[in-house]
């Protein structure tokens, strides 16, 4: 449970850092499993201070969180135990 909380907090911090951009462009958050299969997709408006992506319903394993804003793309590796 402590690791899940830490993971959720890390995702909130990463997403909130991106969401504070002065531009009026939204972000796309995409979560894929280790085989590349899409498991979650969400839109994050630039006016949001923070956004949580609930990964509690996903099985343990390796996931990749991709944040896309225009031409800017960041990919984060997430290990769920």
**Which residue bears the tokens 């993971």?**
7
- Write the pLDDT tens digit of every residue in 8-54: 656 665 666 555 555 567 889 999 999 999 999 988 887 777 778 88
Q: State how far the Cα of 28 lies from the Cα of 20, in Å rounded to an integer.
A: 14
Phi, psi of 66 (to 5 degrees): -115, 120
Number of folded domains that form the chain: 1
Structural domain including 76 reads 2-80
- 5-14, 51-60, 71-80, range with greatest mean pLDDT: 71-80
Residue 51 has what pLDDT?
78
3-class DSSP state of 3: helix
Please tell me the predicted confidence (pLDDT) of residue 74: 93
Decide which of 2 and 64 is more confident. Answer: 64
CATH number of residue 72's parent domain: 2.60.40.3080
* Max Cα distance, the chain (Å): 36
Helix (H) or strand (E) holding 41, with range, is strand 38-44
């Amino acid at each position: 449970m402590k690791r899940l909380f830490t993971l959720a907090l890390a995702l909130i911090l990463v997403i909130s850092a991106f969401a504070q951009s002065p531009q009026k462009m939204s972000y796309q958050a995409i979560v894929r499993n280790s085989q590349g299969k899409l498991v979650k997709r969400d839109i994050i408006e630039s006016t949001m201070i923070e956004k949580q992506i609930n990964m509690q319903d996903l099985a343990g394993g390796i996931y990749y969180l991709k944040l896309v804003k225009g031409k800017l793309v960041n990919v984060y590796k997430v290990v769920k135990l």
